[in-house]
Amino acid sequence: MAQMTMIQAITDAMRVEMKKDESILLFGEDVGKNGGVFRATEGLQDEFGEERVFDTPLAESGIGGLAIGLGLTGFRPIMEIQFFGFVFEVFDSIAAQMARMRYRSGGMYHSPVTIRSPFGGGVKTPELHADSLEGLMAQTPGVKVVIPATPYDAKGLLISAIRDNDPVVFLEHMKLYRSFRGEVPEEEYTIELGKADVKREGKDISIITYGAMVHSSLKAAEELAKEGLEAEVIDLRTISPLDIDAIITSVEKTNRVIVVQEAQKQAGIAANVVAEINDRAILSLEAPVLRVTAPDTVFPFASAEDVWLPGYKEIVETAKKVINF
């Protein structure tokens, strides 16, 4: 075991896989010599050469097309979108092309592409760097959407994403890149996509969340514990498809739920989680399922992040509302 930040775990996952599988190509804007704007691909071009780790022209749509074409000719592409706010430029390649490749060819072709991209607030980035746009991807049949919250999860999930023979959008929260270290095995291991993880056990309320909100939820759980309330924190890890079993098992145990996301209320995937719980476990509920989200405005100007982004205080407040319903 080694102590790694999440970004080190991500680099490690790519290194481990690229060593094993020569068909993996890694490309994007400034991922080569520069090692990526966050150093996620640091050292990989030196190790694997320019044929396998290379820079692209500055055009997201072209990068998406490149990944599709390379996938068709037997490669396994890992493409990087420098910030996920730029996904709109490449929306067609992802949502209308690679997501549909297996289907529209009746299974003859597929797109084994991993799309890595940073997102997330709290680090005062300029416009359209931090937006949480995972909801758009989660609405797209044919792509899986993975959002790790710890170094350990990031490595195991990224290895699974790379090995998956269908497109996977792998979203990396910028605030979690270097904010803490965690134990990460040096060898290869996988975490199955579509599987949630109980990050804290509890009996009084379930907090279902993902991304940076996992840590805010854990902090909220500590606060609640001071008042004798035991919250169970479920980290979804994959937001499409959802781990229904894990969600329902927890709901049936605690009978009270909140869903926490950094995205705006009309975005993200919280509404979907609520709907699934209503469909499958309404008789277990002692109270309605409430959501903690950001307000339905455009992502805030950098110096307004603190008042806009949801934090542990809102989570505590909403949890109490549900418990005292």
Partner 1 sequence: MKSKTLEQVENQFETFQILNEEGEVVNEAAMPNLSDDQLQELMKRMVYTRIWDQRAISLNRQGRLGFYAPVAGQEASMLGTHFALEKEDWILPGYRDIPQIVYHGVSLEQAFLWSRGHFQGGQMPEGVNVLMPQIIIGAQIVQTAGVALGLKRKKTNTVAITYTGDGGASQGDFYEGLNFAGAYSAPAIFVVQNNRFAISTPVEKQSAARTIAQKAVAAGIHGVQVDGMDVLAVYAATEEARERGLNGGGPTLIETLTYRYGPHTMAGDDPTRYRTSDLDDEWEKKDPLVRFRKFLEKKNLWNEQQENEVVDQAKEDIKAAIKKADAAPKQKVTDLIGFMNEKLPYNLNEQMDEFKAKESK
Q: Which residues are catalytic?
A: 129
What part of residues 187-216 is at the interface with partner 1 (CB under 8 A)?
A: 194
Q: Which of 2, 3, 49, 105 binds partner 1 (CB under 8 A)?
A: 105
Instruction: Provide the CA 154 distance to its chain's centre, in angstroms.
Output: 9
- The footprint of partner 1 on this chain (CB under 8 A) covers a number of residues equal to 45
Q: In the bound complex, what is the minimum distance in angstroms from residue 165's beta carbon to partner 1? A: 5
Q: Which of 241, 266, 275, 282 binds partner 1 (CB under 8 A)?
A: 241
**Residue whose structure tokens are 């022209």:** 57
Report the residue number, 138 or 174, with the smaller CB distance to partner 1: 138
Tokens for 142, please give them: 């044919």
Q: In the bound complex, what is the minimum distance in angstroms from residue 164's beta carbon to partner 1? A: 8
Name 42's bridge partners: none
Report the alpha-carbon distance of residue 84 to residue 188 in Å, rounded: 27
Q: What is the DSSP letter of 84?
A: G
Report the alpha-carbon distance of residue 36 to residue 131 in Å, rounded: 20
Q: Cβ(40)–Cβ(5) under 8 Å?
A: no
Binding mask 140-179 for partner 1 (x = CB under 8 A): -xx-x-------------------xxx-------------
Element (H, E) at 3: strand 2-4
- Which residues, 6+ apart, have CB-to-CB distance to 57 below 8 Å? none
What part of residues 23-42 is at the interface with partner 1 (CB under 8 A)?
A: 25
Report the residue number, 157 or 176, with the smaller CB distance to partner 1: 157
Binding mask 44-83 for partner 1 (x = CB under 8 A): -------x----xx-x-xx-xxxxxxxxxxxx--------
